[in-house]
A and B are shown apart, each in its own frame.
Chain A
Amino acid sequence: MAEKLKLEVSDEIAIKVDSMNKWFGSFHVLRDIDLTVNRGERIVVCGPSGSGKSTLIRCINALEEHQTGQIIVDGTELTSDIKNIDRIRSEVGMVFQHFNLFPHLSILENCTLAPIWVRKIPKKEAEETAMHFLEKVKIPEQADKYPGQLSGGQQQRVAIARSLCMRPRIMLFDEPTSALDPEMIKEVLDTMIELAEDGMTMICVTHEMGFARQVANRVIFMDDGQIVEQNEPEKFFRNPQSDRTKLFLSQILGH
């Protein structure tokens, strides 16, 4: 097991979710969610499938609309006001399970599109930034290829670079390694660890418990649309309090 990351967490609040509820039709997916994330925190969200963990982080950048309660991201409240939503989305990076790169654009174009059109950065400068982040995720040589020519791990790293090009203050990861072959998981996790070392505020939905132990300063366990338990990773894994958590941990760590 790699060395546990020791990083400062500031007192400044990055995300505040206050008694938030969401329904899909009549199905109550998220129930009274309260969550405060400080700047620089690395949070891992885990839980059985269908527990609402993906929906929770998708609510934070308004890919899903919440019905009651409050979500405040970077001091801006998420309402149906489209201007607020666009502003929050450009501050919050999102990495998806299935990468969702744009297949008709080259890797470099994938990374420069939003900076050029949303941030209004000159093309040349945007390309320099993109190359900087592609180097950071260690695939600058693929810049002129198309997503279809890359392996899954490389595509996911491009997706991370694409988000970073917008210089986000918060990064959300929605099961970033679940669709990858085992040998590619490590390269993506390494990229995420580097990101954490740089002090990025991160919320990761993942089942990589090694990553949680090493990087997270807090682990949140969700079941049935509610937060069941949250704690520091050491205590969470060694001494889970609720029966649901114990059952879940025994199932994923048991083999």
Chain B
Amino acid sequence: MSGDNNSFVRTEMISERIPPAADRGLVKWVRENLFSSAFNTIMTFVSLWFIYSLVVAAAPWFLNGIWDAETVRECYDLLDGKSGACFAVLNERFPQLIYGFKYPSSEYWRPNLASVLLLVALAPILFRKLPRRLLAFSAVYPFLAFWLIWGGSILTSVSAFLGCVIAIGCYSRFSSRSFAIAVLIGLIAANVWWIIGGYIVDLNDSVLALKDVPSRDLGGFMLNLLLGTIAVCLSIPLGIALALGRQSDMPIIKWICVFFIEFIRGVPLITLLFVANVILAFFFPPGTSLDLILRVLIMMTFFNAAYIAEVVRGGLAALSKGQYEAADSIGLDYTQSMRFIILPQALKISIPGIVNVSVGMLKDTTLVSIISMFDLVGMIRGPILSSTDWNGVYWELFGAAAAIFFVICFSVSKYSQWLERQLETDRR
């Protein structure tokens, strides 16, 4: 525009052009991220030097590692004064690290099969694109896995499964009348069936029977995976229910939920585990004893659920009031508006928080080693390190435990990021 004439009319529109070469691709990334200023250039070289010396220092330890030896002394003999890891312990004690030291070795195929099937059962829950019919297997899986890991007659699992089917059947039969009545009838029907089923199972306890493995014989990473998976899977629905309960208009339900959440959150998990181990037994009539794993599971589920409830509450609070009002104004009732409008959005917001808490729970399963259960860490601290054969092989064992947990937790975290992107419909 010239100084004396301020009017301007564009006669031709400018078409799009690509940015200059220095502002594209790898060159742009390197320039912007590594060499954007003198200070950053220096820091880049310092970091490169640091990474280099770290690799140089650690590489021999890994590369000289001994994978084949019977004892730690044999390891040192083979290393002959060089620095190197004694990975042989992982090799020799592998079954103990994975299954614990009491699980009968002839039955290792059972937990193996259960963990492979776990992936199959989780797949349709984690990936919405898979055929929905696979969910039927996910529903059967918990009962199948129980039979595989603990053994006994398959009738126990079948009976438990049928009880659940009966409960759901009764619920959906009566749910159109009243929610509370339907739940009550479902519970009664299931319990009646379980009592009858119990007698039938007792009479035929050899049908398709696998060798019994008592809970105290479970151990190793299998125990961590078992506790973590079950606690996380149960605590998500319980957490959602608690979060909704906390928002309830009914004061008694609200107070129960608030008290539960605040109490559980205010107590360290390790305290709850000691309670599960020692004190809980006092509350049951003499002679009856609840399985230790079950007691620990209850505590872990409660603990995780309390945290998830708070995460979900945050998600619920993040939704605008307009969403609740719009759902109300088109005539949806409470259950429908929660199911179709509120929870899908609130849970999407809560995914990072839920995953954060659940990954923490997965790792906290190693705390059971303190109440003398032999999980992965319990096995390392107890039977392996205290044996004369492998005394003092700390780095290799704990490093391996860290690596196993890292792989699992990192995959879970990557999955959650992928899921968040999948559900991102509002900012496309």
Is the Cβ of B426 less than 8 Å from the Cβ of A98? no
C-alpha gap A146/B426 in the complex (Å): 7
| Total number of A residues with any Cβ neighbor in B under 8 Å | 29
C-alpha gap A103/B341 in the complex (Å): 9
Is the Cβ of B333 less than 8 Å from the Cβ of A63? no
Q: Which of A92, A93, A104, A117 contacts B425 (CB 8 A)?
A: A104
Q: Which of B332, B336, B428 contacts A149 (CB 8 A)?
A: B428
In the complex, A129 has a CB within 8 A of chain B: no
In the complex, B104 has a CB within 8 A of chain A: no
Distance (Å) between the CB of B179 and the closest chain A CB? 13
**Residues of B contacting A113 in the complex (Cβ-Cβ under 8 angstroms):** 330, 332, 340-341
Q: Which of A62, A92, A102 contacts B326 (CB 8 A)?
A: A102
C-alpha gap A94/B331 in the complex (Å): 10
Within 8 A of A (CB), among B339-362: 340-341, 344-345, 348
Residue of B nearest to A165 (CB): B330
**Residues of B contacting A82 in the complex (Cβ-Cβ under 8 angstroms):** 333
Distance (Å) between the CB of B202 and the closest chain A CB? 45
Is the Cβ of A102 less than 8 Å from the Cβ of B427? no
Interface string of A85-105 (1 = CB under 8 A from B): 010011011101010111111
Is the Cβ of B336 less than 8 Å from the Cβ of A117? yes
In the complex, A61 has a CB within 8 A of chain B: yes
Distance (Å) between the CB of B117 and the closest chain A CB? 32
Is the Cβ of A118 less than 8 Å from the Cβ of B331? yes
- Chain B interface SS verdict (over half): helix
**Residues of B contacting A148 in the complex (Cβ-Cβ under 8 angstroms):** 425-428
**Residues of B contacting A86 in the complex (Cβ-Cβ under 8 angstroms):** 331, 333
| Total number of B residues with any Cβ neighbor in A under 8 Å | 23
Residue of B nearest to A172 (CB): B329
C-alpha gap A61/B326 in the complex (Å): 11
Q: Which of A103, A149, A166 contacts B330 (CB 8 A)?
A: A166
Is the Cβ of A114 less than 8 Å from the Cβ of B345? no
C-alpha gap A82/B249 in the complex (Å): 13
Distance (Å) between the CB of B375 and the closest chain A CB? 39
Residue of A nearest to B335 (CB): A117
In the complex, A206 has a CB within 8 A of chain B: no
Residue from B325, B331, B333 having most chain A Cβ neighbours under 10 A: B331
**Residues of B contacting A149 in the complex (Cβ-Cβ under 8 angstroms):** 428
C-alpha gap A86/B329 in the complex (Å): 9
**Residues of A contacting B423 in the complex (Cβ-Cβ under 8 angstroms):** 104
Residue from A89, A102, A146, A149 having most chain B Cβ neighbours under 10 A: A102
Distance (Å) between the CB of B350 and the closest chain A CB? 14
Within 8 A of A (CB), among B300-344: 320, 322-323, 325-333, 336, 340-341, 344
Residue of A nearest to B329 (CB): A94
Is the Cβ of A103 less than 8 Å from the Cβ of B345? yes
C-alpha gap A51/B344 in the complex (Å): 36
Q: Which of A105, A118, A166 contacts B336 (CB 8 A)?
A: A118
**Residues of A contacting B344 in the complex (Cβ-Cβ under 8 angstroms):** 104
**Residues of B contacting A117 in the complex (Cβ-Cβ under 8 angstroms):** 332, 336, 340
Is the Cβ of A114 less than 8 Å from the Cβ of B331? yes
In the complex, A217 has a CB within 8 A of chain B: no
C-alpha gap A103/B320 in the complex (Å): 11
Distance (Å) between the CB of A240 and the closest chain B CB? 33
Is the Cβ of A104 less than 8 Å from the Cβ of B426? yes
Residue from B326, B328, B425 having most chain A Cβ neighbours under 10 A: B326
Within 8 A of B (CB), among A139-168: 146-149, 162-163, 166
Is the Cβ of B331 less than 8 Å from the Cβ of A166? yes
Is the Cβ of B332 less than 8 Å from the Cβ of A118? yes
Is the Cβ of B326 less than 8 Å from the Cβ of A96? yes
Residue of B nearest to A63 (CB): B325
Is the Cβ of B345 less than 8 Å from the Cβ of A104? yes
Distance (Å) between the CB of A36 and the closest chain B CB? 23
C-alpha gap A100/B340 in the complex (Å): 14
**Residues of B contacting A118 in the complex (Cβ-Cβ under 8 angstroms):** 330-333, 336
Residue from A93, A98, A103, A166 having most chain B Cβ neighbours under 10 A: A103
**Residues of B contacting A63 in the complex (Cβ-Cβ under 8 angstroms):** 325, 328-329
Is the Cβ of A100 less than 8 Å from the Cβ of B323? yes
**Residues of A contacting B323 in the complex (Cβ-Cβ under 8 angstroms):** 100, 102
Is the Cβ of B426 less than 8 Å from the Cβ of A147? yes
Is the Cβ of B329 less than 8 Å from the Cβ of A89? yes
Is the Cβ of B425 less than 8 Å from the Cβ of A100? no
C-alpha gap A148/B425 in the complex (Å): 7
**Residues of B contacting A147 in the complex (Cβ-Cβ under 8 angstroms):** 426
C-alpha gap A96/B322 in the complex (Å): 8
Is the Cβ of B326 less than 8 Å from the Cβ of A100? yes
Q: A86-B333, A118-B331 are in contact. Are A100 and B322 (CB under 8 A)?
A: yes
Within 8 A of A (CB), among B401-428: 423, 425-428
**Residues of A contacting B333 in the complex (Cβ-Cβ under 8 angstroms):** 82, 86, 118
Q: A148-B426, A149-B428 are in contact. Are A102 and B341 (CB under 8 A)?
A: yes
C-alpha gap A86/B327 in the complex (Å): 11
Residue from A89, A92, A163 having most chain B Cβ neighbours under 10 A: A89
User: Top 7 nearest A-B pairs by Cβ distance?
Assistant: A90-B331, A100-B326, A103-B426, A100-B322, A94-B329, A114-B330, A148-B426
**B residues at A contact (CB < 8 Å):** 320, 322-323, 325-333, 336, 340-341, 344-345, 348, 423, 425-428
Contacts A/B (CB < 8 Å), 21 sampled: A63-B325, A89-B328, A89-B329, A90-B330, A90-B331, A92-B329, A93-B329, A93-B330, A94-B329, A98-B320, A98-B322, A100-B325, A101-B326, A102-B341, A105-B340, A113-B341, A114-B331, A117-B340, A146-B426, A148-B427, A166-B331
